[in-house]
Homo-oligomer: A and B are copies of this chain.
């Protein structure tokens, strides 16, 4: 697709706006516990997860489309912030008012781009959010796997903040990973049991 000089100005403005994702803090930390992870580096890590775990993808999954979804998936947090999965006892993430705010953010942010490109990116983000296509299901499974691995490797510091139990992780995280990465869930489920058996939860 060819773009005009105005298009290039709009594209560079979008890319500058995207810089703000580097300042959105997430609930989990880096593995070395030095600080909270931000949503931009989390997004990069997920694209690497997609490349590395591509062999686990089910039939019909196009890894290149999955990677594109993951690059875009958190840009709405520039306006809305990260809503931790386990905050408000698991009720905030996915609440209708958060979903409406994220949809508005997507329209504003992708609306900075030339029209056809903005529509293409918005559609890809909407497909990810809906989690119905093979690509979106795989992408969502990766998005649940990476924080689980970060939490297991950092003694559950991100979980303790929200008093997260073993059952919470199984229902909010395991249910999603199972859809797209069943073998990875089997592998991590064992480690999760060990973590909570050792008393790895708030105040224990």
Binding site for B on A (CB under 8 A): 1-3, 5, 8-9, 11-12, 14-16, 18-23, 30-32, 34, 37-38, 40-41, 43-45, 47-49, 51-56, 64, 67-68, 71-72, 113, 117, 121, 146, 149-150, 153, 183-184, 187
Could you list 10 A-B pairs, sorted by A, with CB under 8 Å? Answer: A11-B53, A15-B48, A15-B49, A20-B31, A22-B45, A23-B34, A40-B44, A41-B44, A44-B47, A51-B68
Please measure, in the bound complex, the distance between the C-alpha atom of A105 and the C-alpha atom of B43, giving whole angstroms: 23
A67 in complex: contacting residue of B34, B64, B153, CB < 8 Å: B64
Q: Is the CB of A22 within 8 A of B12?
A: no
- One complex includes copies of this chain to the number of 2
A45 near B2 with CB under 8 A, answer no
Are B3 and A56 within 8 A (Cβ)?
yes
A32 touches B20 (CB 8 A): yes
CA distance A117 to B14 in the complex (A): 34
Report whether B47 and A150 are in contact in the complex, using a CB–CB cutoff of 8 Å: no
* Cα separation A71 to B44 with both chains bound (whole Å): 7
